[in-house]
Structure 1
């Protein structure tokens, strides 16, 4: 399914491939220790863009983006850099 979602945009707020190529180097690197990320970081950014554009609450986030708690955790981590 991940390959299919890369070829199509599910929501108008999803990043295009060109946009992702520009911001991917700015994302936090993988931790050398510990487990791998279960949620793709591009989906985290897509979820944050969806939240801003739609104005929905965290619990109303579509399941395609992964657990809302994960998206919220990354939002709290990234807000230091964004704001």
Structure 2
């Protein structure tokens, strides 16, 4: 589902050492758990490479395009259940609680049920 939205590798040459899917899983692990980048398990790849991919896609708008596409898919499925937010985010105690400042939309994107 996300493959058409991801940037294509334009460079010819040596194949990547770490598969992109594994690096994306590392980004999702970091976002889901909230650990520092340096504490992402090595099984996802080197933390510097994972962080580099995250920042590169953040700067070039890839995360924004993916989020827009996922929102469009969700809206096409019909109205959203009003209690869905509470089910997806049980840590939110009140609807009146303001969102955490500085949280980028990429974080909510990676926790989206269509991404998992």
Q: TM-score, normalised by structure 1?
A: 0.66
- Pick one of 34, 42, 45 that aligns with 2:21: 42
Structure 2 SS opposite 1:35: coil
What residue in structure 1 maps to residue 3 of structure 2? 24
Report which of the two structures shows the higher radius of gyration computed on alpha carbons.
2
Q: Which runs of 4+ in 1 moved over 4 A?
A: none
Structure 1 SS opposite 2:25: helix
User: Which consecutive residues of structure 2, in runs of 5 or more, have no partner in the other structure?
Assistant: 65-116
Shift of 1:68: 0.5
Q: TM-score, normalised by structure 2?
A: 0.49
- Between the two structures, name the one with larger relative contact order (CA 8 Å, sep ≥ 6): 2
More helix by share: 1
